[in-house]
Amino acid sequence: MFLRSVALKRSRSLPDGYPFDVAQRLIGGCLEFPSAVTFFVGENGSGKSTILEAIAAAVGLPAVGGDAVAYDETLQDARRLGNSLQLIWNRRSLRGFFMRSEDFFNFTRRILSLTQSLARDAAEVENELSGYGLHLAKGSLLGQRQALIDKYGEDLLACSHGEGILHVLRERFAPGGIYLLDEPETPFSPQRELALLSLIRQMAEEECQFIIATHSPILLALPNATIYNFDENPAQVCSYDDLEHVKLTREFLNAPQRFLRWL
């Protein structure tokens, strides 16, 4: 694995309040990442996204969809906490990204805007250049536009949210990268979750490392993954069958009327 563990810097006195109180409560000694895929699971508000965002800030990963982690106003607390994290590496990877599912529409809008801008620029150079210069400039602009279309499609906004995210992930994952994903399953149907599970497993076999915050019992079933339960203080490694998410889902599916009669 690339990233071996994360801990709070012992040499630094931490401020009071959020997000440092969350980190002190959850990280304990350190969080270790012994497998290709690590899941953070817990109730809403348990702190899993806070820790994941801080790790993304500390690693310096680019963001897919939103503003760069270093400039995103919604990640100010993550950057503050990230500065107080100590990262232990087996080896660094220069590939990878951080993605929150809610940022995906920003990404699709940027791709659409860029393809439209390149088309306009190609039309405008006809008024400014001629001959071989026009041929080179127009060819370069239209070539860049076509490359985006070949990679992401004519219009990602025409896809469903789940289809679009899955398409982007397939195109952006590369062997030897480290990827931090915050609840990527949010827009997915169960069938699409299985497709995402298969994609993560495939990329893990190509020397990728994943740290994923999720609620999905489907994703959490990935063989040989490390699962941290953030409902424990500090977060504890937990087996799949012992997770409350899994137990509750099984109980509901086996006897939904037992739950529905109390609604």
The tokens describing 225, both together, are: 């993954």
Q: How many CB atoms lie within 10 A of CB 110?
A: 12
Superfamily of domain 3-104+177-260: P-loop containing nucleotide triphosphate hydrolases (3.40.50.300)
pLDDT in tens, 112-152: 666 777 778 878 877 887 887 777 887 887 887 777 666 66
Q: What is the mean pLDDT of residues 94-99?
A: 90
Q: Is 249 strand, coil or helix?
A: helix
154: CB partners within 8 A, 6+ apart: none
AA identity, residue 33: F
pLDDT band at 159 (very low <50, low <70, confident <90, very high): low
Task: Return the domain boundaries, the chain.
Answer: 3-104+177-260, 106-156
d(CA 85, CA 180): 16
pLDDT band at 210 (very low <50, low <70, confident <90, very high): very high
pLDDT in tens, 60-96: 988 876 566 777 887 899 999 999 999 999 999 989 9
Count of all residues that appear for the chain in the document: 263
Average pLDDT, the chain: 86
Highest mean pLDDT among 75-89, 100-114, 180-194: 75-89
d(CA 75, CA 69): 7
User: E-strand spans in 74-219?
Assistant: 85-89, 96-100, 178-182, 209-213
Q: State the pLDDT at residue 154.
A: 62
Q: Are 1 and 35 in contact (CB under 8 A)?
A: yes
Q: What is the mean pLDDT of residues 159-184?
A: 82
Q: Are 230 and 40 in contact (CB under 8 A)?
A: yes
Prediction pTM value? 0.81
Burial class of 156 by CB neighbour count within 10 A (0 to 12, 13 to 18, 19+): buried
pLDDT in tens, 11-54: 667 888 999 999 999 998 899 999 999 999 999 999 999 999 99
Q: State the pLDDT at residue 75.
A: 87
